[in-house]
Amino acid sequence: MKSFIVFCLSLILALSPFSPTQGNIPLKEIRTSPDALASADAHIQGISCNDDAIFVSFKNMIFKIDWFGNVLKSVSVQPHAGDLTCVDGHIFVSMSEPEKHGVFEYDSELNLLKKYKLENTSATDGIAFLNGNFFIGGPSIGQTPHFDNRVCRFDRKFNLVQEMFVNFGVPTHYGTQAIEAYGGTLFMAFYVADDAEIQTIRTDDQMRIIEKYPLFTGNGIVRVPPSKQNRDNPLFLVARTENTKEGNPVAILRWFELDEGNFIDITDE
């Protein structure tokens, strides 16, 4: 009898519109608990996701969380990890230290599969996959403000194909921090002054600027998968980091709708 009840409850959850693997999940703020990320250093470096989970990178840790903020799995990395992206069920994490330039490949359970050393480039941050190529931001030039931000295109085996630069007229720090592919274009996030009118840009694959946004996405931006797209306009998650009074980082993900060139916060609608 007990096993039958468990089976029924599992079936109800699977069919529920609020199941983390189904569409129509509530557009509530996704927040980790105050102590769930206690082992993480500093702030969120990037986010990515698939139907089943969200992947969050910190300098020294990668976390797999469900669509309600519960940590499912974590793995430590030798810092400094940067942004990450999901491609064909695998997770690719840009790495800036200790080897200064590379990409780590994991499966969806965060088992390390392979390390790639990137030739002819330096430290890496933002990473996205578009039209069969990886676009990786770098090098991390440093805190000194600069305008030209390098983005390198690599093939599927991480051979360098093209070196490009993007300049959107605002001084940045540490290069391109987060990149997300969408509709044949790339969203790019930077560290800029808090009062900068442009915080995020959208480019084509040759770094020609298409749109500019005041929204800060330097802790990560990702388009949610089709199973979570329940509106006419595309939905994105944007990450930010808060710290508890004990100093533990908390990951906060909010829902944004891209409507006619504007990002609109629709969290808690």
What residue segments make up the domains of the chain, in order of their start? Answer: 30-265
pLDDT of residue 81: 92
- Exposure string for 49-73, b = 16+ CB within 10 A, e = fewer: bbeebbbbbbbbbbbbbebebeeee
pLDDT of residue 138: 77
* pLDDT tens by residue, the chain, 269 residues: 545 443 444 444 444 444 444 456 789 999 999 999 999 998 999 999 999 999 999 999 999 999 999 999 999 998 789 999 999 999 999 998 666 678 999 999 999 999 998 876 666 889 999 999 999 997 656 667 889 999 999 999 999 999 999 999 999 988 899 999 999 999 999 999 999 999 999 999 999 999 999 999 999 999 999 998 888 999 999 999 999 999 999 999 999 999 999 999 999 97
CATH number 2.60.120.10 given to 30-265: no
- Contact (Cβ atoms closer than 8 angstroms) between residue 106 and residue 127: no
Cα separation values, 31 from 41, 97, 157, 203, 255, Å: 17, 28, 35, 30, 12
Is the overall model pTM greater than 0.85, yes or no?
Answer: yes
Distance CA 109, CA 52 (A): 11
pLDDT of residue 5: 44
Specify which residues 252 forms β-bridges with.
Answer: 31, 240
- Contact (Cβ atoms closer than 8 angstroms) between residue 180 and residue 223: yes
Cα separation values, 94 from 134, 152, 196, Å: 11, 12, 26
Q: Which residues contact 195 (CB under 8 A, 6 or more apart)?
A: none
pLDDT of residue 141: 60
